[in-house]
Amino acid sequence: MGWSLENISHFIDSWLYNEFDPTIARLIEFLIIAVCVIGLFAVLGLVLILMERKVSAWMQVRLGPNRVGPGGMFQTVADTLKLIVKEGMTPLNVDKFLFNLAPFIVMIVSMVVLAPLMFAKNFQIWDINIGILFITAVSSVSVIGILMAGWASNNKYSLLGAMRSGAQIVSYELSAGLSVLCIVVLTGSLRISDIINSQANGWWLFKGHIPVIIAFVIFIIAVTAETNRAPFDLAEAESELTAGFHTEYSGMKFALFFLAEYVNVFIVCAIGATIFLGGWMPLHIGNWNGFNHAMDYIPSFLWFFGKTFLLIFVIMWFRWTFPRLRIDQLLNLEWKYLLPISMFNLLLVTVIAILKWHF
């Protein structure tokens, strides 16, 4: 397609290198990528918060936002404007440097993790050969920002929330990582593009047998906990800890934490869609050539965002279905159940990969 993201990126790249010195062209490309990432974050924040409100309203048989704009579409825009003009208060006796730095660390980590993701066919920021390892390594740094925010706030509720979040993220990263490793074992590569190309004849969720389905279920549960989403939102339990690690934050600093949560939900769902559901790869079924040809007409970026938003809907579904767990129940679920199952499941997937029992 002439208007595909791949062709647009190639056109911009060739035009810049024809018009400018290579160094200048590269710097302009970096600037364009930065603007696009910031723009994507802003749009995702507006869309996902509105989606959350509408999904929760639908599940509770109510309307949700319906005043600002048609169908309440501009409610999140109004909320954003309110947060922008709201004064950012810094309480007494806080560590001002760390207090102000923490929300930026959380946001920067989210931005960096976007780099290896492939948003459409041949359209990604950085096709690094250790893409999955890069994502899992960098994403784990966000817990430092959360711990920093809780400790620097000089507030016992913030500190308790941060410590809970640290324990939760570190614990559930193990199960999420082992689930991702199942697909790495099957594909034999850590590169995102290789993992997607390995699903040209079928998505791993369908051709990897029951162990991959188990890995997918564990992955969704683990990343829901990693992003501090209900029913695993112990770090922000309003009935116990006010607002957890961001209790003392207001204005744009609070907005950055709030935005980072939703962007992280998008990122983990994009990773799940990439490794289990083929990323931008269309749905192909065996020798159904007519059906497969029709699926190829749907632009690749629509496949990617469609699958990602489907998984986001599932995570939102969790929030409005299950009650919040206690902290001991949360950690028992990981260490006594999910982690042993994940380790045994990885062993099964390794046997399937060696014997080539997958489709």
Instruction: Give per-residue pLDDT as tens, 325-354.
Output: 888 888 899 999 999 999 999 999 999 888
Closest-CA residue to 255 (of 81, 94, 127, 57): 81
| Residue among 70, 80, 82 nearest 48 (CA) | 80
What is the longest distance spanned by two Cα atoms in the chain?
A: 68
Q: Which tokens in the block code for residue 2?
A: 């002439």
pLDDT at position 238, please? Answer: 66
d(CA 222, CA 216): 10
| CB hemisphere CA count around 190 (13 angstroms) | 11
Listed in order, strand segments (DSSP E) in 117-256 are 118-120, 123-124
pLDDT (tens digit, 9 = 90+) per residue, 277-297? Answer: 988 988 887 777 888 888 888
Q: Are residues 115 and 9 in the same domain?
A: no
Same domain, residue pair 324 and 349: yes
Instruction: Give φ, ψ of 235 to 5 degrees.
Output: -70, -20
If asked whether residues 46 and 126 sit together in one domain, one would say: no
Q: How many domains does the chain have?
A: 2
- 144 shares a domain with 188: yes
Q: Does 178 lie in the same domain as 158?
A: yes
Return the bridge partners of 123, or none.
120
Rounded Cα gap, residues 99 and 94, in angstroms = 7
Low-confidence ranges of the chain (pLDDT < 70): 1-3, 236-243, 358-359
Instruction: Let me know whether 275 and 319 are in one domain.
Output: yes
Contacts of 67 (CB under 8 A, 6+ apart): 75
Q: What is the pLDDT of residue 288?
A: 79
Among residues 66, 85, 104, the one where a domain terminates is 85
Domain end call among 69, 85, 101: 85
Neighbours of 296 (CB within 10 A): 12
* Distance separating alpha carbons of residues 256 and 69, to the nearest angstrom: 24
List of residues 6+ apart from 153 with CB closer than 8 A: 91, 94, 99, 159, 245, 247, 248, 249
Same domain, 77 and 212: no
The whole-angstrom separation of Cα 248 and Cα 95 is 12
Question: Cα-Cα-Cα-Cα dihedral of 27, 29, 34, 40, to 10°?
Answer: 180
Mean model confidence pLDDT for the chain: 88
What percent helix, strand, coil does the chain show, rounded to 5? 70, 0, 25
Tell me the residue range of the domain where 33 lies. 1-85
The pLDDT tens digits for 44-93 are 989 999 999 999 999 988 888 888 888 888 988 898 888 888 887 888 88
Tokens standing for residue 275: 């490794």
pLDDT at residue 182 in the model: 93
CB 36 within 8 A of CB 8: no
Residues in the chain: 359
